[in-house]
Structure 1
């Protein structure tokens, strides 16, 4: 659907102009339009030509829905909300804010949001944050709102936890994630919202997480740290063209949301000593696009989640229909892109394509454990590049971290229908490590068009345990014997020795 993508990109570009009001078409324009339409349809030849144009366009759209010879119209891509123009715009300084990096501007943000909340029936409003450093405690957004950060605008969080409100644990976690009981809220927060845009000319939201990280390491915090931006129970969300940095905890956390687009982002945290500073954590989210971004953080660059053990099973909200593409990511502590380990509501229909993972500990990882339940299925990795990565592809089924002892140890997750196509790279120590188990086997894994230059000469650098699936065509390095071998035409060449064979070697 290139024509649709170009339209979306054009709308995004136009949106950065950020006009404050929209003027209605003039009566003269409407009159000329009516006269043009009347003349157009007065000729049957014109109508006939238009009919052929419609037929041709339909065939074109039909053809663009073919991928590798298989129709994909049965699996629609996530709906991508377009930016909304607002009829009214305000400047943060209209509410008494001072961008000196010292004045606390929480009240100004709250007044502006309250004013915009009254405009929902009229299309909402836009809050412009001009250049400057705008110190604030956490504040909430409202529906039909655009938060626009100008170039050189910085929204900075107060780093004293007494200014951060406490919230109940997430219902699908039943636990604060780091401590039992309540958790700190996020710097920018929203619940039960619709039609929210956070964008700008690459302005910055800075969580000033250094003090949070230090107090966490010193075990001086009694509650779980808060994310930088968290949107919950909401729909039609767009976040683009800004920088997020130094989050106290997870950076961008959409929770139980639908129709979310995250694009053209820069997300930063120190590679070390910035614990749990994940970049983007889609959590029980549906119909989502993450694209065209750079992420370098102290934990997973992206981690798709859906709840933790028995709490996630009871909540029952999967993460599904997620498209991740055109990213450059880095993680020296965890992984570039992860699924799990908290996935007890299920994860399905995820496509990850056109991603470079560089100078990282791990590239792409699926992690789960007994007690999680649910499933991870229909996951497609395409056109990935690994550069100087310790372990390239990982599926791990013994990630035994639990909120409490109330989980069911026999709640075994199902992992199946995972494909890796066009995977390349260099400087990789272990290209593949898939560690299934007797209770949690990994089923129907496919490898095609893979060539990864390794830095380790030991035999078992393609490692498998309790894995079944196939290799199509020739790949490098040599695959494990758990997988069936097919030629490029789909003809079986060699049947696997045993899906349960194990050559996992964690020493490398």
Structure 2
């Protein structure tokens, strides 16, 4: 009897319920480590005395090697040739513009691409630069104490075409600014360091965006297009102009051991956004941002459906996430190429508008299916789980009014939350109801007795969920 799945689920639910209660939550569920320090949450500054990654390790531990997915990208042992950016006249004073030094260094290193590649070494200093375009078979390595600073002059970022799966810039029609670090059609690229920093100095971009003085969509901090075998690790990215890490049309990507710090009020500064990409692993990251910590995407409306490149085979694990305006992890709303086979295992989300969110709309088409989300801890979240079909922003007036998204086979389990305003919001579409949504082993301490769950045009099942969900969910026995 004690080995039956039902009994084990009941035991797990009792454990979750024991987490909920004033003064006990973090000590019971998080080993006594609080990630809700008031000063941090008010200022979005690094917690003291722990660094972000020290805090991450204190919560998640080091993890077992078999649980890590860094093996999905080759463990390069080093490049046969290395040069320093100073070899090309760069000056690390934070004032001298070094764009040409980066261009010359990368041009020089092209000759080594066919012989195992090369490394561009960034020593201690403040290295101001405009847009940097990478090449294949390259390691960009930043020494401890090195900081790449993004130029605050918009003219240092060339204007490039919008992505074909978006049909335009994401914010404005027409082209867009290039990203601080970018590449197209690359393979075998490593962007790493010894806990060094890449600072986008995004405040000028956020101000221009708010004032509506930009002629083009903002660039990202790091964007790689149609590239494969990518490793991004052991760095701090901060003050991104727009989305921070954006692999789009990519395959075989590992993003690990990153700290991402964007102010809570910095608009649309997502953390990591895999977009129409496959075989992506995101693990062991600390993300504190002004939008979604992680958002999985695949193109926008008719442009995404015609481009037809899904995001799939994605793993997200051991993530510590902070946000005020958006979600710990989201799917969409740009999901017109389809999203499937995504496994999320182990997140702590604090202060967010949404804990886990799927967002779509009429006109998107596409699908979100085969999603597994488990082992999630939520603290001070307005809505714990949201699956919504009313996110209605479109690229132009030619969007298809009968392109209904398909949302199905969504499984969420082992979720515990404290100080939650609303347990769940499931707003499907009458023309395309959301189906096969399964909830299990969920315990949420909700602050209200009004509209704890809000559901329409949705069907699914639940087992051991507290508070009990809407009537649209059938209890499993």
Q: Secondary structure at the match of 1:312?
A: helix
Q: 1:409 and 1:82 mapped to 2: Cα distance?
A: 47
Q: CA deviation at 1:8?
A: 9.5
Q: 1:393 and 1:372 mapped to 2: Cα distance?
A: 21
Q: CA deviation at 1:7?
A: 7.4
Q: 2:174 and 2:75 mapped to 1: Cα distance?
A: 38
Q: CA deviation at 1:337?
A: 0.7
Q: Secondary structure at the match of 2:204?
A: helix
Equivalent in 266, 270, 285 of residue 263 of structure 2: 270
Q: Looking at both structures, which has the greater relative contact order when contacts are Cα pairs under 8 Å and sequence separation is at least 6?
A: 2
Q: CA deviation at 1:152?
A: 1.2
Q: CA deviation at 1:463?
A: 2.1
Equivalent in 100, 103, 116 of residue 123 of structure 1: 116
Q: Does 1:137 align with 2:127?
A: no
- State the 4+ residue runs in structure 1 displaced beyond 6 angstroms: none
Q: 1:443 and 1:169 mapped to 2: Cα distance?
A: 34
Alignment match, 1:337: 329
Q: Does 1:469 align with 2:422?
A: no
Alignment match, 1:485: 475
Alignment check: 8 A CA contact 1:201 1:241 kept: yes
Q: Secondary structure at the match of 1:276?
A: coil
Q: CA deviation at 1:437?
A: 2.1
Q: How many equivalent pairs are there?
A: 415
Q: 2:177 and 2:335 mapped to 1: Cα distance?
A: 22
Q: For 1:473-504, what per-residue CA distance to the aligned partner results, in whole angstroms no more than 9, with x for missing partners?
A: x22111111111113xxxxxxxxxxxxxxxxx
Alignment match, 1:414: 406
Q: Does 1:228 align with 2:218?
A: no
Alignment check: 8 A CA contact 1:228 1:247 kept: yes
Q: Secondary structure at the match of 2:465?
A: coil
Q: 2:296 and 2:119 mapped to 1: Cα distance?
A: 30
How is 1:151-190 mapped onto 2 (pairs within 5 angstroms)? 151-190=144-183
Q: Secondary structure at the match of 1:118?
A: helix
Q: Does 1:365 align with 2:424?
A: no
Q: Secondary structure at the match of 2:164?
A: coil
Highest CA radius of gyration, 1 or 2? 1
TM-score, with structure 1 as normaliser: 0.80
How is 1:270-349 mapped onto 2 (pairs within 5 angstroms)? 270-272=263-265, 274-349=266-341
Q: CA deviation at 1:89?
A: 1.1
Alignment check: 8 A CA contact 1:83 1:238 kept: no
Q: For 1:281-306, what per-residue CA distance to the aligned partner results, in whole angstroms no more than 9, with x for missing partners?
A: 10100000000001011111111111
Alignment check: 8 A CA contact 1:351 1:379 kept: yes
Q: 1:381 and 1:7 mapped to 2: Cα distance?
A: 20
Alignment check: 8 A CA contact 1:8 1:82 kept: no
Q: CA deviation at 1:5?
A: 6.1
Alignment check: 8 A CA contact 1:81 1:259 kept: no
Q: For 1:336-375, what per-residue CA distance to the aligned partner results, in whole angstroms no more than 9, with x for missing partners?
A: 1110001110000001110000111111100000111111
Q: Does 1:449 align with 2:461?
A: no
* C-alpha RMSD of the superposition: 1.6
Q: Secondary structure at the match of 2:72?
A: coil
Q: CA deviation at 1:96?
A: 1.0
Q: Secondary structure at the match of 1:213?
A: helix
Q: 1:328 and 1:256 mapped to 2: Cα distance?
A: 26
Structure 1, unaligned stretches of length 5 or more?
13-77, 488-508
Distance verdict in 2 for CA 1:123–1:228, change over 3 Å: same
Q: CA deviation at 1:84?
A: 4.5
Q: 1:165 and 1:251 mapped to 2: Cα distance?
A: 18
Alignment match, 1:45: none
Q: CA deviation at 1:330?
A: 1.2
Alignment match, 2:232: 239
Q: 1:175 and 1:156 mapped to 2: Cα distance?
A: 27
Q: 1:179 and 1:6 mapped to 2: Cα distance?
A: 44
Q: CA deviation at 1:146?
A: 0.4
Alignment match, 2:105: 112
